[in-house]
Amino acid sequence: MTIRPGVLAYRGGLSAAKMHAHHSVQVLIARCGEFVVADAAGTQVTCRATVIPADVAHAVVQGVAEGEMVQLAAESDDAAAVSRTVARPYSAEAWAAAGDALANRLGDGEWWADGLPYVRSAVRPMRHPALASALRLLPDRIEEGQVRLRDVAGTVGLS
């Protein structure tokens, strides 16, 4: 499993899952065989790969023994790029068509997530406002001399 800002990538068995949605773009690719996905309208598609847009209800009706699942933060450049390949965002058939096009570009033994340009992601970690204030204070405090954590915390309202 790989976890980086904006990306979660998993390799292994892809299990069946009831109807749900993620606030991320989900890419599923079977390494061998096919799996079955369904959209909210009940359309089921047997496929080897899918690109499911963020916040779209879907189910994995039948999983596969070996595959790759990649979750891309919806706000990232990579998610936006791969989402543009899905012609109809609520259609399982469109998810499979986009996934098939993506999988066709892979060579034997290649994993899709290995080619992701992680450094290009536009996702930035969110910081608590008080922590952000503390970080802005630190350069001046360091220049003034000794920095006491309790003093910085008190200034920004942290206990």
pLDDT digits (tens, 9 = 90+) for 77-131: 889 999 999 999 999 999 999 999 988 888 767 776 665 644 344 445 566 788 8
Closest CA to 62 of 29, 34, 21: 34
Q: Provide CATH 2.60.120.10 ranges for the chain.
A: 2-105
Mean pLDDT computed over every residue of the chain: 87
- For CA atoms 143, 144, 146, 148, the dihedral sign is negative
pLDDT exceeds cutoff 50 at 152: yes
pLDDT digits (tens, 9 = 90+) for 7-17: 888 989 999 99
pLDDT digits (tens, 9 = 90+) for 46-57: 999 999 999 999
Contact assessment for residue 9 and residue 2, using Cβ atoms and an 8 Å cutoff: yes
pTM of the model: 0.71
Distance CA 24, CA 26 (A): 6
Q: Which CATH number fits domain 2-105: 1.10.10.10, 3.30.110.40, 2.60.120.10, 3.40.50.300?
A: 2.60.120.10
Name the residue with higher pLDDT: 83 or 149.
83
Contact partners, residue 106, CB within 8 Å, separation at least 6: 29, 112
